[in-house]
Structure 1
Amino acid sequence: MTTSRILLRTASLDDLDRITDLHTQARTAYYQAGGFSEPELTSPEARSRRREMWMRALENDTTTVLCAASGGEAVGILAMGPPLDPDVDAATAGQLYQIHVRPGSWGQGIGSRLHAAFVQGLRDASLTTGVLEAWERNSRAHAFYTRHGWKPDGHHRPGPADANYVRMRLELSPSA
């Protein structure tokens, strides 16, 4: 699969179950890679909570949810919107809530396409800063974001398996 065959489009409620399943697969893969393999990752209750979270995101006017699709199959998702932490200035920053790529599609440029859409969303909104949180044991995500210019900003909060979520920032250079 090449990224030229990947269509990025705004997600709809029709995508809800595909998004929830993709999120579950990606989340399970990175938590297990970080040494956290609780049954909670794939339980029906956890899936139901994720589905509700995605439904709220899809129905929220301040959240943008994009699907990356190939051949009609969802292979990646992105959610972004205003910052969640009160110490982040919403007049200058937007938050990347989530990027997930189906584990079998990792390394094919899908995450980079979604990331580029996030950066374009910041620019379109005249924002200069992006923020996100990544679980500290998700080394794959940290390497991805570092390659794209993100840096930890010193803020963290507790996460599963005695590992924190680390907040990172991306400062955009002025566009030409």
Structure 2
Amino acid sequence: MAAQPKPLPVHQPSYLEGGGIVGWLTTIDHKRVAVMYLASALFFMAFGGLEAMAIRVQLWTPDNHALSAATYNAFFTMHGTTMIFLVVMPLLLGFLGNFLIPLQIGARDVAFPRLNALSFWLALIAGILLHLGWIRGGLPDAGWFGYANLTERYFTPGLAIDWWVVGLLVSGISTVLTGLNFLTTIIAMRAPGMTYMR
């Protein structure tokens, strides 16, 4: 009886294989995306810390003139925005959510891996847009809460508030896409027998 030839093994490319910088920049693996969220959040945390130190220098002594009133308001605005939208949200949703949710529910990855990577890149672009005022148009001084009267052209002329608003919109889109991805992952990709209460 003649021995049947063994079929040659076919190499199945995996999205987890990419090495080097290109592998990290093009990854759709939820754990790698989580690490990139962590790295960007730590970078913006350092940036927000520098903004906080400038605020503290101004508050160091009474009647200090280290920063003008408008510059102080701009640093206050950028510090609050940076810490909430570029540090806290990426750490909670991006890092912890991306890293833990698929592992906790027994899923191989999130429901939409490419959408997950897009959410990260949108969050990073939002951070760049929010801080583009450092280079073009000055910084917004409307407070990180963005009261309507302070965001009007009369109180904040120039492009500063425009870059800030566009950055916040892109950040919001990123957060919504991440939330929809997690919701779909939790509903559709749980391990067999795992109920919502488990």
Query: What is the TM-score with the length of structure 1 in the denominator?
Result: 0.27
The structure richer in strand per residue is 1
| Bigger radius of gyration among the two | 2
Which structure would you say has the larger RCO, counting Cα contacts within 8 Å and 6 or more residues apart? Answer: 2
The structure richer in helix per residue is 2
